[in-house]
A and B are shown apart, each in its own frame.
Chain A
Amino acid sequence: MNLKLRVWRQKDRNAPGKLVEYEAGDIDPEMSFLEMLDVVNERLIGAGDEPIAFDHDCREGICGTCSATINGIPHGPERATTVCQLHMRHFKDGDILTIEPFRAKPFPVIRDLMVDRSAFDRIIESGGFVSVRTGSAPEANTLPIPKDAAETAMDAAACIGCGACVAACKNASAMLFVAAKSSQLNTLPQGKPEKDRRVLNMVAAMDEAGFGNCTNQYECSAVCPKTISEDFIAQLNREYLVASVKQSFAGK
């Protein structure tokens, strides 16, 4: 199949970027989207041009490294799919594909389609962990966990931190990411002791990073390759309100 690509090219953080057109001819429909970009890059290198820089790692849809906005939708037109798991058979011969980076102020472009998502790491550092004694594992049944709580926590923990939620949100809000990362711990007994501190700190870190605000449109959940539910955002809203009020009346 033959495609026309309009790819965002940007030399570095501070350089202005622009869309550049490329012909992607003779593409195998069984290729993944990233393999298609590999082919285009091989040809660019062969012609002495700079290849298109893009993030990728596992190419199995589980690491959260790949990121690109295709025709205005992060990770492209297929639902519950990362770019690396998106196959060219979902496109038609002759399609024009606009490929842009994930766009948000806290995700500055490093080069072309690569963005710096370390703002997510700062949010995790602010509270997305549990403080537990390491060493030998405790006896499994000392801490009973309700089945539904375990399931809910696993649903939240499916988040691979790719940032598509931010990229899809018209306000570049990171609420779905923060909600998933706080809920996966808050739902479990191990995460309960630090629950209030966790939500207060993670929201503060999110605001500090300069993400936008949620307007309850759930584009994040619709675009999420792991289909994280917006229910976790409601949970975060609820837990933040409770934590704020509790902190106001705390003795210390």
Chain B
Amino acid sequence: MYCGGAAIVFILSIFMEQTTARLFRSSLGKKYVMAVSGVILLLFVIGHLIGNLQIFAHPDLINSYAHFLQNMGPGLWAVRLILLTAVVAHIWAAVELTLENRRARPEDYREKDTIQASYASRTMRISGFIVLAFILFHLAHFTLQVVNPQYQELYTQLEDGTVVHDVHSMMVSGFQNIWISGFYLIAIGLLSVHLRHGFASMFQSIGLRNRKIAGPLEKTSLGLSILYFAGNAAIPVAILAGFVS
């Protein structure tokens, strides 16, 4: 399996060498990078949300799920590597494109008006930046557990006797802090706004949009962001309200 994987990576790298130089230099190429890394990150945050919603079931469910993820071995690192690459690529493309955009209009309008560009589309940079800050904190908080080192001591026993990390208690204790829940809600809100533009936008960037599908696409984008926000917000709200303990 690894040989097959290596062969694919090798062939892709030859292909990449030919295309990437031009593609990464061109404006459209950077937009493809933005869209593809965006898709990967979107799929991750949706998967992450579905996993987290297990908090509403018996604690053993999310604890055994977390145990399974932690013990994926190379698979876990493969996923982490893909995600890290996607994050780096997304930020790299955003910085490059933003700098080019700034250079493209050195003297700004004294008066500028907008006809129809959405709020979400005009705040991608700031929403993205705050979400990045949140991700770093979130990793330090729940993955590396350096914000509250006592989380590392939380263990529980599953029904079959396996001793696993008590993720359920960690989440409950984490979100009982009103400041952490507050920052989480703000970040989730901004990420939902970011996705509102990002989801529909990636279709356009790779050329898979036209006015016939624009209506359904925008509605899907809106529905997805609302569902994503509601699903994520339910967790700290339920914990703060004492429904999950």
Task: Give the interface of A toward B (CB within 8 A).
Answer: 6, 8, 17, 19, 69, 71-73, 98, 100, 103-106, 168, 170-173, 203-204, 206-207, 210-219, 222-223, 229-231, 233-241, 244-245, 247-249
Contact = CB atoms under 8 A, between A and B. Distances in A.
B103 A214 contact: no
B26 A203 contact: yes
B23 A213 contact: no
Contact of A248 (B18, B109, B112, B113): B18
Nearest to A211: B104
Given A217-B117, A248-B15, 10 more contacts: A69-B109, A103-B109, A170-B101, A203-B26, A207-B27, A210-B103, A212-B104, A215-B124, A216-B201, A230-B204
A19 to B, nearest CB: 6
Interface in B151-195: none
Contacts of B22: 244
A172 B104 contact: yes
A237 B206 contact: yes
Contacts of B106: 105
Contacts, number: 137
B29 A171 contact: no
B26 A234 contact: no
B220 interface: no
Contacts of A211: 27, 104
Interface string B139-152: 00000000000000
B205 A171 contact: no
Nearest to A200: B22
Q: Determine chain B's interface SS by DSSP, over half rule.
A: helix
Contacts of A247: 19
A100 B111 contact: yes
B8 interface: no
Contact of A219 (B104, B115, B201, B207): B115
A214 B104 CA distance: 12
Given A73-B115, A207-B26, A237-B204, A215 B110 contact: no
Interface string B120-147: 0110100000000000000000000000
B117 A248 contact: no
Nearest to B18: A248
Please give me the 5 A-B residue pairs with the lowest Cβ-Cβ distance, nearest first: A238-B207, A72-B113, A212-B104, A171-B101, A217-B117
Contacts of B124: 215
A103 B107 contact: yes
5 contacts: A69-B109, A73-B113, A73-B115, A98-B110, A207-B25
A215 B31 CA distance: 9
Nearest to B117: A217
B104 A105 contact: yes
Contacts of A106: 104
A22 to B, nearest CB: 15
